[in-house]
Amino acid sequence: MKVLKFGGTSVGSVENMTNVKNIINDGNKKIVVLSAMSGTTNSLVDIANNIKVSNTDKALQDINALHEKYILVIDALLSDATLNGLTKTYVAERFNFLIECTYKSFSQLIENEILAQGELMSTFMFNSFLQQEGINSCLLSALDFMKIDAHKEPSFNYIQNNLQTVLSEADTAEIYITQGFICLDDTGEVSNLQRGGSDYTATIIGAAIKAEEVQIWTDIDGMHNNDPRFVEGTKPISDLSFDEAAELAYFGAKILHPQTILPVRKDGIPVRLKNTMDPIAKGTSITGNHVETGIKAIAAKDNITAIKIKSGRMLQAHGFLKKVFEIFETYETSIDMITTSEVAVSLTIDDDRNLEQIVSELEKFSNIEIDTNQSIICLVGHAIVDHEGTHKLFKILKDVNIRMISYGGSRNNISLLVDTENKIKTLQKLNGYLFELVTL
């Protein structure tokens, strides 16, 4: 069985939902994971924030505006009076729940419950649409099987067993529809897999049922070799290995949630990135194989803080790095890039919530310099040094001030750290050097 995930734009209009229906209605049994309609989760985040700061009037105004938008979509999507009525009733219940939240005292749980409403509504609406079109579909609640543990990792055995049960209870259905993103936490309360987490839902389900393939459908024709928001003429990459895709997703390729590849990698379940607006385009195929050597793609990750730790005590001493790492471990802050010299270590973090405490611990035995507003530019490929343009990489130093360079952590990645204000220029220059093979 295959697992197909469709993002917010795919369920964002009647036209797109019709495209999705045509894609999935091929006579094969499958699980379809859906995001919330595009823009909904952002609106729900705003609603939650307004409730949090007791801006009740604004929250209520936004809830009503969103409700009206849903009524319009339902009317355009469902001409069948019974299904139209049923769906409007369900959606009204969800909006009533949001209204009730404005009177409750705010908590993390309330916020999670608010954010869950988008996927609950999109799946209900889409399932009604499939019923109207005479398709044998069945709506599964992700809250009946999707669960994370106290470390926010998927509870794999629980998911596998519970999913098996819900699937067998509905085994006559041809198409199972379920929500991405939402789950229960270790205490059984509503939680989620973080923003963009529907991709992750799809691969967790894929691993749980040992799927033949997981397909992630978006509105772009696969993973591109550079960021199309900043660079012109980017091209889709046809094949990536799990390692390459994981690096790109982590280091900024917005098309995939960073953890998407993890669940399927062990069993070698292929992941295909496809375009709902152009279903016959090949997209990107992510497998355990390395196809082609050299640099395949460039991605950038913002909001990076660089920390330079300088100490005379590092000279020919052992145990220095251990001491440094232990501080980051204590404050549960993960390190992305690291470079060392005999007298200094530079490293980067993307979560600066505990920066102050980390710095005061480090200052007990070293001098610290902090640079904020940095971006990691990540070059990804296989046997990356073999790329015909790789030697030109250092030409970038002539044009941009590179704060750190890291290579060798794997054969798949070279990372450069630059000031964020230089990011776009760096991405464009690298594109020219590496993919257009600009002669200098």
- Pull the structure tokens for residue 314: 């590092």
Q: How many residues does the chain have?
A: 440
CB 185, min distance to ligand ASP, A: 16
CB 32, min distance to ligand ASP, A: 14
Q: How far, CA to CA in Å, does 154 sit from each of 14, 146, 150?
A: 33, 8, 10
Q: Decide: is 217 part of the binding site for ligand ASP (CB under 6 A).
A: no
Which one of 9-17, 35-43, 86-94, 154-162 is the stretch in contact with ligand ASP (CB under 6 A)?
Answer: 35-43
**Residue 147 · residue 153 · CB < 8 Å:** no
**Residue 251 · residue 376 · CB < 8 Å:** yes
Q: Decide: is 36 part of the binding site for ligand ASP (CB under 6 A).
A: yes
CB 35, min distance to ligand ASP, A: 3
Q: Decide: is 258 part of the binding site for ligand ASP (CB under 6 A).
A: no
**Residue 376 · residue 300 · CB < 8 Å:** yes
**Residue 193 · residue 46 · CB < 8 Å:** no
Nearer to ligand ASP, 153 or 363 (CB): 153
Q: How many residues bind ligand ASP (CB under 6 A)?
A: 12
CB 421, min distance to ligand ASP, A: 28
Q: Decide: is 287 part of the binding site for ligand ASP (CB under 6 A).
A: no
CB 425, min distance to ligand ASP, A: 30
Q: Which of 102, 137, 198, 375 binds ligand ASP (CB under 6 A)?
A: 198
Which one of 135-143, 190-198, 233-241, 409-417 is the stretch in contact with ligand ASP (CB under 6 A)?
Answer: 190-198
The C-alpha angle 403, 408, 410, rounded to 5 degrees, equals 120
Q: Decide: is 50 part of the binding site for ligand ASP (CB under 6 A).
A: no
- Give the end-to-end CA distance of the chain in Å, rounded to a whole number: 51
- Between CA 99 and CA 52 the distance in angstroms is 13
Q: Decide: is 197 part of the binding site for ligand ASP (CB under 6 A).
A: yes
Per residue in 152-188, is it b (16+ CB within 10 Å) or e — as a string? eebbeebbbebbeebbeeeeebbbbbbbbbbbbbeee
Build a one-symbol-per-residue string for 69-108: x at contacts with ligand ASP by CB under 6 A, - elsewhere.
----------------------------------------
Which one of 73-81, 138-146, 147-155, 191-199 is the stretch in contact with ligand ASP (CB under 6 A)?
Answer: 191-199
Which one of 34-42, 136-144, 165-173, 245-253 is the stretch in contact with ligand ASP (CB under 6 A)?
Answer: 34-42
CB 41, min distance to ligand ASP, A: 3
Q: Decide: is 285 part of the binding site for ligand ASP (CB under 6 A).
A: no
Judged by DSSP in three states, 260 sits in: coil
Q: Decide: is 12 part of the binding site for ligand ASP (CB under 6 A).
A: no
Q: What is the residue-wise DSSP string for 208-255?
A: HTT-SEEEEEESSSS-BSS-TTT-TT--B-SEEEHHHHHHHHHTT-TT
Nearer to ligand ASP, 118 or 263 (CB): 118
Q: Decide: is 10 part of the binding site for ligand ASP (CB under 6 A).
A: no
- Between CA 259 and CA 16 the distance in angstroms is 27
Nearer to ligand ASP, 36 or 74 (CB): 36
- Between CA 127 and CA 133 the distance in angstroms is 10
Nearer to ligand ASP, 95 or 181 (CB): 181
User: At residue 119, what is the residue type?
Assistant: E
**Residue 176 · residue 138 · CB < 8 Å:** yes
Q: Which of 12, 154, 180, 283 binds ligand ASP (CB under 6 A)?
A: 180
Q: Decide: is 118 part of the binding site for ligand ASP (CB under 6 A).
A: yes
Q: Which of 9, 16, 19, 41 binds ligand ASP (CB under 6 A)?
A: 41
φ, ψ of residue 19 in degrees (nearest 5): -60, -45
Q: Among all chains, which residue has been given the structure tokens 């991605």? A: 299
Nearer to ligand ASP, 7 or 270 (CB): 7
Q: Which of 196, 252, 258, 283 binds ligand ASP (CB under 6 A)?
A: 196
**Residue 67 · residue 40 · CB < 8 Å:** no
Q: Which of 104, 195, 313, 391 binds ligand ASP (CB under 6 A)?
A: 195
Q: Decide: is 8 part of the binding site for ligand ASP (CB under 6 A).
A: yes
Nearer to ligand ASP, 96 or 194 (CB): 194
Q: How far, CA to CA in Å, does 258 sit from each of 45, 138, 196, 199, 396?
A: 21, 29, 9, 9, 27
- Between CA 313 and CA 319 the distance in angstroms is 10
C-alpha closest to that of 264 among 197, 176, 181, 205: 205
Binding residues vs ligand ASP (CB under 6 A): 7-8, 35-36, 41, 118, 180-181, 195-198
